[in-house]
Structure 1
Amino acid sequence: MDFKNAIANLLASSVFFLRNIFLLIFSPYRTMRNISRGKDFGQAFLIFLTVFLYFKFVYFLRDDPYPATITFLVFILHFLFTMAFFYFLGGVSNNKIKIPGFILTFSYTLIPTLFWFVSNSILYVFIPPPRSYSILGKGFSIFYISYSISLLTWKLILIYLALRFSTKLGFYRIMYLMILFLLWFIPYSVFLFHFKIFRIPFI
């Protein structure tokens, strides 16, 4: 009976997970606010499972890669450290912070990252570099840059909304925290690149 309940709960979480991804594209403000009120950790599990499957997939595309389990563990440590950074600097004494909503909202900020990395891997398979300087090649480059900027913008919006709804902080305080985050994130990215763990950090 417990197994059936677990399967039913996971299926329900899957439906909400797919629905939230769709709604985050068209209505991120309202959707992230609703996510911050939730307690369904099954959705967070599905996000992390998808990330793990991506690392398994990309393992076969890279030259001399680290095992997928290692890169996934590095990602988990980074994600936990990021959450701890915003949680403690965002005001651990803030009674308005609800842990379930905090975890769920930050988990959903990974969706634009997943979109970008998965699409890059697919493009690598079907349109591998080097690419030409023809009209089609330049057109593809313009499309790719626009697509990447759009996902980055979406990512920043989701991070802001995650902090806004889970910590109840104001705009300027959130901007200040994000700048502080970048101060350690940039050297950290160089470190990961140097050891060939991530060319671009998975955040």
Structure 2
Amino acid sequence: MGEATVPSGGQTRRTQAERTAAMRTRLLDATVQCLVAYGYAGTTTARVAELAGVTRGAQVHHFGSKEDLVVAAIEHLAQQRAQSAITQLGRVRTNPDPISAILDFIWEEHQGPVFVATLELWVAARTDPTLAREIDRVEPIVNSTLVAAIAQLVPDEAMQRDIRNVVYTAMDALRGILVASFFDQDAGRARRRWERACENIRRIATDVLA
């Protein structure tokens, strides 16, 4: 019971649970697109359904409201960010300059549509208690996954605690830079500001790893 059937053509037919999961992912990916393209205020269920290429009825069946969509999107984005951090860390391990590799890794993990959508939800959560509660639940998990992965590069346990503090400081600095860059017409200024911050962060990290 519950097993996928195989039609005469040889192609495995997806189960109802698989179809439901695929539709939810499709809608959540469209929600991320909508957040990036239109911002939180411009994200509507109608636009999400249109971007997903599904009917409004199908969207409502899976997510009855905008709040349902964006709350689920917070979890969806958190999973993507955590998975990306784990996947990309391999190249940090093989870099002969671990401090620069870590700082470059932090920069890359804060680029692209996934993080832009995340920032939109963070800002919206300032005045939305439901979003704030969900972000407060998942964000520590994402951050601890990223920081714990980086800390594995440092064999000494005492140093691991110190490098965690360095990583959190670097992320706090970068996120402030990126928020300020949203209204900046100079596309390269955020990177230059980050490189300036890295000069100071690198000195702290060097002392930790010495």
Shorter-normalised TM range = 0.3 to 0.5
| Highest RCO, 1 vs 2 (Cα 8 Å, sep ≥ 6) | 1
Q: TM-score, normalised by structure 2?
A: 0.36
